[in-house]
Structure 1
Amino acid sequence: MRALFIHIKRLFLLGTVTVLISSCAKPKTELILLGTVHQPIENFNADSLYNILVRISPDVILYEVDSSFFTDQFEFNTSWKSNEYKATSKYTDQNKVIIRPYDFTGRNEYRKAIGARPTDGLAKALLDSLYQTGLLNPADQLQYESYLQVNDTLNALAYYGAASFNNPATDSIAQSRQQLQYESLAKIMEQYPVFSDIHYQMENGDSISFLDGYKRAGEFWKMRNEAMSKHILHFVNTFPGKRILVLNGFFHRYYLNKLLLPVCNEHDFVIKNFDEY
């Protein structure tokens, strides 16, 4: 009987120690990749985003710009009319939260410097003109129409609210859309000499063909998402155990998930969706 009592006592003490260890364990870092739409539209505006911020109650908000948009004290040095700026500004007025930039440094200037912009838009406009006037061969016409259909489907989802563009199904459509834009359309352009023959003069005096500029835009899409994910991981390691909200235009969400999910265990964090709060 005494032996049984001692055994039960040991089990009780062991359970108590286990509970104490569990209660003292370091909380897991939570990363929420919140896809957004930058400008107000039906069913998603600054107020919609603000309400989501209140629900999540983040410790850290990562903002889709680079450090040039912040002071040395990480305060905004400019203002925008975007949903993110209005919602974040309202939230920080009422709550203590850390704001940090995480985008590719000097993204707009870099795109211009490598000739990716505005040639990407010019090349795409030229391709659309060839399509509209019936100058694409049947196979290329079908491929371009596939892009238009996926693009329209993805953009339409933005009008149904945050839940409609923060889910795996929409992420899959976004991935298809970006692959069609930067891979399939580039292959179509390669078949038509006009895209190699027409050049755009860059600010440094050099010129670049529409085709090469468009391809560089596709390369930059990969570079930018890789840089963003690298910066996000930096903040995951800087703020362990915190709830980190990443504001991102929802076309990026699939790519960030693809890059970050494989390293969750290595960096000790979990990725959660906004509707889990």
Structure 2
Amino acid sequence: MANYPETLIRPFEFEGRNEYRREREMVPTDNLTTILLKSLYTENALTPQQREILQRYDDPTHELKMIASGSPADFNNAVTGSIAGLRQFYQHKKLTEITNAREEFANTYFSMPDGKK
């Protein structure tokens, strides 16, 4: 920022993020949700609309992984920011539509080390 004061800085992290997620028992269950979704996709168990949602989530995810393998100049721009915004929309809004509608997510539990489900 000192060398390039016109550089746009996008929010990425916040202090205490990991602790916040642990306190709300989001770790490791968030990853397990994605694993179950992908398993349902592979087994062709999702509806056509749910399959499309998952694909629309995966496409920008793969694109961002490719961009992230480059230099900071490759990913610190408005185009990449819009791709990340699209991915977040699907991750936080659209995937939730699938998990709220699927019986597998109503009846599948992860047991925490303390035994709590």
Q: Check if 1:110 corresponds to 2:20.
A: yes
Q: d(CA) in 2 for partners of 1:154 and 1:183?
A: 19
Task: Go from structure 1 to structure 2 and tell me whether the alpha carbon gap of 1:203 and 1:109 turns closer, same or farther (over 3 Å shift).
Answer: farther
Give the distance between the partners of 1:111 and 1:203, measured in 2 at CA.
Answer: 16
Identical pairs, percent: 32
Match of 1:165 in 2: 75
Partner of 1:141: 51
The yes-or-no answer on 1:180 pairing with 2:76 is: no
| Deviation of 1:136 (Å) | 0.5
CA distance in 1, matches of 2:89, 2:19: 24
Higher relative contact order (CA 8 A, sep 6+): 1
Q: How does 1:3-82 map to 2 (within 5 A)?
A: 33=9
Distance 1:151 1:191 in 2: 23
User: How far apart, CA to CA, are the structure 1 residues paired with 2:73 and 2:11?
Assistant: 9
- What's the TM-score once normalised by structure 1's chain length? 0.37
From 178, 183, 189, the counterpart of 2:99: 189
CA RMSD of aligned residues (A): 2.3
Q: Compared with structure 1, are the counterparts of its residues 34 and 147 closer, same or farther at alpha carbon in structure 2 (3 Å cutoff)?
A: closer
Q: Following TM superposition, by how much is the alpha carbon of 1:191 offset from its aligned partner in structure 2, in angstroms?
A: 1.3
Task: Give the TM-score, by structure 2 length.
Answer: 0.82
CA distance in 1, matches of 2:91, 2:78: 20
> Residues 234-274 of structure 1, C-alpha deviation per residue, up to 9 Å, x if partnerless?
xxxxxxxxxxxxxxxxxxxxxxxxxxxxxxxxxxxxxxxxx
Between Structure 1 and Structure 2, the one with more strand by share is 1
How many residues are paired up?
Answer: 112
Q: Which amino acid aligns with 1:188?
A: I
Residue 159 of structure 1, CA deviation: 2.5
Contact 1:189–1:195 under 8 Å retained in 2? yes
5+ long unaligned stretches in structure 1? 1-29, 37-63, 65-102, 208-277
Following TM superposition, where does structure 1 have runs of at least 4 consecutive aligned residues deviating by more than 6 angstroms?
none
